[in-house]
Chain A
Amino acid sequence: MDITTQKNTATPPPAPQPTEAERKRAARGATRPGDRIFLGLSRGSGILLLAIMAAIAGFLTYRAVLAISKDEGNFLTTFEWNTGTQPPVFGIAVLAYGTVISSIIAMVIAVPISVAIALFLTHYAPRRLSGPIAYVIDLLAAVPSIVYGLWGALILVPQMEGLFGWLDDYFGWTGIFDWQGGPARSMLTVGILLAIMILPIITNVSREVFRQVPQMHEEAALALGATRWEVIRMAVLPFGRSGVISASMLGLGRALGETMAVATVLSPDFLIHASLLDPGGGTFAQNIASKFGEADTFGRDALIASGLVLFVITLLVNGAARMIIARRKEYSGANA
């Protein structure tokens, strides 16, 4: 339109202008074939990701329903896992308990120690030390879990026995630390190993957060006459709280779903033990890995059903973490 009217008028306008404007409009509006293809490809990838998530939920549910519909026990409360028998009887009570307990032990140990190490690296260690140490911890986060498992089974377990004996001697009366003297392939060892595994991750994220605390907040505390610990309590920890929470949730997600390290260390059975020191119990992931080999198609469906529960639990944990972070953001004052 513009072009034609301008061409019909007697006075010649600056010729290149309209075409250039048109070109820009074209670039913005994605009308070129190249633009359309590229947008299609990238949007398609995003949609594919959503489709995969939907497929995971769908297929797992489908196979799980196949298994649970034939389950003669109560899927949630049965203390058994017999999928080869007629009729099959299986339930996830023991697995849910073991997964939660081992993760709790791991978190109780790993979170304070990780935060302390992160503080060590950002506020206590000599500067020449802290750089290389942080780098090494970064690398340790990449050590495959099976290697942790092998180390845990062959080196950590024998070392734990002395500690178990001592715990039994002094705290055996609580019941929680009662020990019959079997190998230390128990929930406590699993929890400690999981703690060691998630330590590098939580440390790394927390360290990043602590490093971002503005210098001026720490100086404000110092200038009020705060000791180093008071500076950390006044300026560093409040600022880093939401970051530490999200780091911990990341670690918790790892601990909940960890398979190989638990499978190598734990000596499983299908009972809930009051004692953390006696071998036995199981976790979702460990149970799948150890029962998979001899399971027939129905047995595998039953394992998929337990995997679906694990999937839902990790989704809930992740969702909770995200909500906490979103709510904390308003108070963090990161832009102050």
Chain B
Amino acid sequence: MSTVLTDKRPTTLRGASLPKWSPWVIAAGSVAVAVGIGLGAGLDSRIQWGLIAAILYVLGTYAIASMVEGKRQAKDRIATSLVWVAFLLAVVPLASLVWATVERGVKVLDVYFLTHSMGVVGDREPGGGIYHAIIGTLEQVGLATLIAAPIGVLTAIYLVEYGRGNLARAVTFFVDVMTGIPSIVAGLFILSIMLIFEMQPFGFAGSLALAILMMPVVVRSTEEMLKLVPNELREASLALGVPKWRTILKIVLPTAIGGITTGIMLAIARIAGETAPVLLLVFGNPFINNNPFEGAQASLPLYIYQQYSQSAGAEPAYDRAWAASLTLIAFVMILNLLARGIARWKAPKTGR
């Protein structure tokens, strides 16, 4: 209207735009040029090739788009291409991780590997297995769950159903703080107690540290689930004259049980892969030790670390480390998938 503006508004709705196939062409061009540079300059790292291609792609997109379509569209396109590049940059290492574990893991992973220990096998020799480590992990994680799950669930019940005032606020705050404790610090804590009583490493000590790591996770997820239970349910039950504790046990918990189980299983999956506290407290043991309360035990993550670090580059030990990694990942993934399955299956039915 009357005001004079430095307005870059075009006079028509028709904006010059690049054809739909242009990103692909620019991408192909960048990759080709990057490979050319890589071969020409004799760069031997594929990481560099990829980075050069990515940079060329982003710059090329910006240059071409700002020439044809204008600044705003060019900015939009550069954002789009950066987002794609970021995604691809992240996919490559993560895919490589999964691929390497599977590819190298299956080499020695068989029934023999799963059912034998390292008892008579030297660190650098082929053979042996992870039976002792599986036993150790199952026992340590199982005991940790037995400790952490009830405490975690009860704490969450306290926070959601009873929690008022300073105590509840303090508990909430320190649960948050506890979530951030590095696993090795939890290990050091138990270690400091063991030093006082001059105890030798044993499986249950590891369980205690794992339980400390597990508790806040269980509290948080259970809290979320309990908060999802509608208040009307509680009030309906209380109005019938049912005592509060029976309301919680018979109405609230059953409604939320699916989510609580999922949370506990995800927490188990998380602690099953913890290495640091186990290294400090359980120490590792090439032999089968079924008793978690006496003597050093093995554990899967610790086994991987020791196969890697104590073998000085011996191929059979690396193979075992990869196979154990694959087993551990499989275990964690199965727990994850089961947990998600339960979450979906037991999800509170919404009223429709």
Chain A interface residues (CB < 8 Å from chain B): 20, 23-24, 26-28, 30, 32, 34-35, 37-39, 41-50, 52-53, 55-56, 59-60, 62-63, 112-114, 116-117, 119-120, 124-125, 137, 139-140, 142-151, 153-156, 159-163, 165-166, 196, 199-200, 203, 227-230, 232, 253, 256-260, 263-264, 285, 288-289, 292, 297, 300-301, 303-304, 307-308, 310-311, 314-315, 317-319, 322
With A37-B245, A257-B185, A307-B184 as contacts: A42 and B304 at CB distance below 8 Å: no
Q: Is the CB of A47 within 8 A of B167?
A: yes
Q: Is the CB of A230 within 8 A of B76?
A: yes
Q: Is the CB of B275 within 8 A of A124?
A: no
* Minimum CB distance partner of B78 in chain A: A229
With A147-B304, A264-B305 as contacts: A297 and B195 at CB distance below 8 Å: yes
Q: Is the CB of A144 within 8 A of B329?
A: yes
Q: Is the CB of A35 within 8 A of B84?
A: no
Q: Whole-angstrom distance from the CB of B176 to the nearest CB of chain A?
A: 6
Number of A-B contacts (CB under 8 A): 285
What count of chain B residues pass the 8 Å CB interface test? 100
Interface 1/0s, chain B 23-46, versus A by CB < 8 A? 000000000000000000001111
Interface 1/0s, chain B 81-101, versus A by CB < 8 A? 011101101100110111011
A161 to chain B: which residues have CB within 8 Å? 45
Q: Is the CB of B184 within 8 A of A229?
A: no
Q: List 24 A-B contacts (CB under 8 A).
A: A32-B245, A43-B162, A46-B154, A46-B159, A49-B216, A52-B212, A53-B177, A56-B189, A59-B196, A60-B188, A113-B90, A116-B87, A139-B333, A142-B333, A150-B304, A151-B96, A151-B97, A166-B45, A196-B94, A228-B76, A229-B75, A258-B182, A260-B276, A310-B185
Q: Do most interface residues of chain B lie in helix, strand or loop, or is the interface mixed? A: helix
B180 to chain A: which residues have CB within 8 Å? 253, 314-315, 317-318
Report if B47 contacts A (CB, 8 A): yes
Q: Do most interface residues of chain A lie in helix, strand or loop, or is the interface mixed? A: helix
B333 to chain A: which residues have CB within 8 Å? 139, 142
Q: Which of B43, B275, B280 touches A146 (beta carbons < 8 Å)? A: B275
Q: Is the CB of A124 within 8 A of B83?
A: yes
With A146-B301, A147-B328 as contacts: A35 and B243 at CB distance below 8 Å: yes
User: Whole-angstrom distance between the alpha carbons of A216 and B79 in the complex?
Assistant: 22
Q: Is the CB of A39 within 8 A of B269?
A: no
Report if B289 contacts A (CB, 8 A): no
Report if B151 contacts A (CB, 8 A): yes
With A32-B243, A159-B47 as contacts: A117 and B86 at CB distance below 8 Å: yes
Q: Which of A27, A50, A160 touches B243 (beta carbons < 8 Å)? A: A27
* Minimum CB distance partner of A154 in chain B: B318
B216 to chain A: which residues have CB within 8 Å? 49
With A117-B90, A259-B184 as contacts: A147 and B157 at CB distance below 8 Å: no
User: Whole-angstrom distance between the alpha carbons of A20 and B235 in the complex?
Assistant: 15
Q: Is the CB of B325 within 8 A of A142?
A: no
User: Whole-angstrom distance between the alpha carbons of A297 and B195 in the complex?
Assistant: 7
A43 to chain B: which residues have CB within 8 Å? 158, 162, 167
Q: Is the CB of A49 within 8 A of B151?
A: yes
Q: Which of B84, B245, B305 touches A260 (beta carbons < 8 Å)? A: B305
Q: Is the CB of B80 within 8 A of A228?
A: yes
User: Whole-angstrom distance between the alpha carbons of A2 and B174 in the complex?
Assistant: 46
Report if B181 contacts A (CB, 8 A): yes
Report if B272 contacts A (CB, 8 A): yes
With A37-B245, A144-B329, A310-B185 as contacts: A42 and B80 at CB distance below 8 Å: no
Q: Is the CB of A146 within 8 A of B273?
A: yes
Q: Which of B243, B248, B308 touches A264 (beta carbons < 8 Å)? A: B308
Interface 1/0s, chain B 139-155, versus A by CB < 8 A? 00000000000111011
Q: Whole-angstrom distance from the CB of A35 to the nearest CB of chain B?
A: 5
Q: Whole-angstrom distance from the CB of B190 to the nearest CB of chain A?
A: 9
